[in-house]
A and B are shown apart, each in its own frame.
Chain A
Amino acid sequence: MAARAEALPLPRSWPSGGAALAVAFSTAYLSLIVLLPIAALVWATHAHASWQAVSSPQAVAALKLTVLVSLGVAVFQAIAGTAVAWTLVRDSFPGQSVVNALIDLPFALPTIVTSLTLLALYGPRSPVGVDAAFTRWAILLALLFVTLPFVVRTVQPVLVELDREMEDAAASLGASTFAIFRRVVLPNIVPAILSGVALAFARAVGEFGSVVLVSGNVPFRTEVASVYILGRIESGDPAGAAAVSVVLLGIALVVLLGIGAIRRRATRHDG
């Protein structure tokens, strides 16, 4: 079953030859591209020990808002993204390929354009009668827009590969449609959903461009962490900005590790 590919056990011993080269390359690449900048960030914070920026109520409010809305977005996408993926794989309707292509569009759009578009759509002069701009709902809407592709794109290939015979077998044994989905399909796609959820959450936590214009940036109400961090930089406190960033990264890391743990558990039960 292709969907089980993720459950393959990791090699326990050190690899040799070409594999060693691959590990060396991956480690070097990861260090250079990801670990180095993050280490620099942590060092910048540590060197100046400016935790005042983090403990201020305004920073706490911005961090709380960012994490809560991002979690909300991740949960929402888990459900909506799976539904969209399901529709794209299992149903056929006219214009399906166009809809399929549309999914990736939020990635192609510069985020500031997203913000301008959402402002026009959900602003005080909304053509659809939804005046949500400058509220927390606007932040949610902007984040839902930019994180749409993640769950859809991680679940879609797994659904395509999923063996229909299992479902047919379950149906022939008298299982209801809901029972088939819950007992047969869901266990197979949960790891993929969680991968997508993790990506969506990570993206939402750090998002700036699409949120900055529609949120209104009012402290304690609609100011997200990335905008607060910008404020620290612009006010000549880059160390404070780095400190808040490190805390944000720390929270994101904990949540991602949590999602990873659930994912491993789900895969194990499955296998």
Chain B
Amino acid sequence: MNRLRGVTKKALFLPLICLVLVLLLNMIKDPGFFSIAINNGVLYGRLIDILNRGSEIAILAVGQTLVVAASAGTDISVGSVMSLSACFCSVLLAGYGVNSTDTFRMPMLAGMLSGVFVGGVCGAVNGSLVSKLKIQPMIATLILFTAARAVGLLLCNNQITYLRYEPYKYLGNFIPGCPVPTPIFVAAAVISAAFLVLRKTSLGLYIQSVGINNRAARLLGINSARICFLCYVICGLCAGIAGIVASSRIYSADSNNIGLYYELDAILAVALGGNSLGGGKFNMAASVVGAYTIQAINTTLLALGISTDQAPVVKAIIVVVIVTIQSPVFRAWVLSRTGRNRKAIKEGAGA
């Protein structure tokens, strides 16, 4: 019993349970949900689909988690920044005002990297507004939320630029000869890079201490402004990577639709992972699980034949249920009802 309680207290417990519940629901509804097949040399199946389509949200969630932890606020510009970096990349590769192209003006990799770089610059703008000028994160990022997509539209001359060059499609689809979709590799690379940094350096600890108490962290000798700034730059870079992946998926720069509403999914992923949006302690793995939970919900709804316009209703209800279950007030209420764990309630009341 004690061991069981130990497991349920782990930060990852609830997010994982939610993900498993969503997947179980699928299995009951459609027993073929977990089947994975190989067609034309590539993997097919709902699970692969969830992993593949969830890549962008997972990449964004990595950056968003750091931002939320360090600054107790959210970066709502990531969706727009995704669109901007895709447009910037396409302008470099195809040239201004070009509608469709199959030859590039510069090396493809250089164009993609500059797209990611623009994401980093946007992150730096957000970061300096938040860390130097002490502006509330949501308001500071509201500026780029409004402007980045509009600038992307101007860069693309208000049209969709198609990049019909085979290798450009690799990043968002399949590399010839490899059965696994490339976005999964990209997401895995970003996530493992984040884990390595957090595990091997003290950055994670610094971020938590800045988030829990900014002043105390500064008195301890941590440059809290720089840590906060760094988090926003990382978040911007993540948005840039996600933008390039999303653009490669549809081999075009569609500034109106790339990254639309992705900021909401990214923030939701952080919250579903049980991380407080009030900053401080964070759990990166839980956020990533949260991201794939969202994609699992999306895929499930599509599989059930609910139209994309109507799907948000179900999504909203699921979100409210999950967040309510995770709310400390609700848990205390349930515990007091079941009559067990009175000690825990007293501790909760004391805190």
A binds B: no
Q: Which chain A residues have a beta carbon within 8 Å of chain B's beta carbons? A: none
Q: Which chain B residues have a beta carbon within 8 Å of chain A's beta carbons? A: none
